[in-house]
């Protein structure tokens, strides 16, 4: 019984000193109507990733999306059919909302 009480007190003492991670991930999103089909939207995203940015790493690709990392953030470009055209939706995650916003707006303008 004494061992259990000592263990409980020790655990509570350690817990009071250990702080949870304080980094909160901020997510920016935006969309753009495109005069092309979904394949054209994905092609634009592919060219954007390959040619415009040296610091982008692509790690995921599918029929309608491209996903990857930049510096210490991540991004996803998703393409949806929209009538005769398509819509490109961009998500950027970073712990600094200003960084996510600036990077997301650059991607959106270049798409």
**Is 85 a member of any domain?**
yes
**Is 77 a member of any domain?**
yes
- What is the pLDDT, as a whole number, of residue 43? 92
pTM value is 0.74
Q: Report the domain count for the chain.
A: 1
CATH number at residue 69: 3.30.530.20
Q: Tell me the pLDDT tens digit for each residue of 38-47.
A: 999 999 998 8
Q: Tell me the pLDDT tens digit for each residue of 55-109.
A: 667 677 888 888 888 878 889 999 999 888 999 999 999 999 999 999 999 999 9
Q: Which domain holds residue 106?
A: 26-110
Neighbours of 100 (CB within 10 A): 22
- What is the pLDDT, as a whole number, of residue 22? 61
**Is 71 a member of any domain?**
yes
**Is 6 a member of any domain?**
no
Q: Which residues of 25-57 are buried (b: 16+ CB within 10 A; e: fewer)?
A: ebebebebebeeebeebbebbeebbeeebeebe
**Is 20 a member of any domain?**
no
């Amino acid at each position: 019984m004494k061992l259990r009480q000592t263990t409980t007190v020790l655990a509570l003492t350690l817990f009071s000193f250990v702080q949870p991670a304080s980094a909160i991930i901020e997510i920016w999103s935006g969309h753009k109507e495109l005069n092309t089909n979904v394949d054209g939207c994905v092609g634009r995203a592919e060219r954007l990733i390959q040619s415009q940015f040296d610091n982008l790493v692509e790690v995921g690709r599918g029929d309608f999306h491209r996903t990857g990392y930049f510096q210490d953030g991540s991004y996803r470009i998703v393409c949806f059919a929209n009538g005769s055209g398509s819509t490109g939706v961009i998500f950027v995650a970073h712990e600094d909302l200003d960084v996510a916003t600036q990077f997301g707006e650059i991607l959106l303008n270049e798409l």
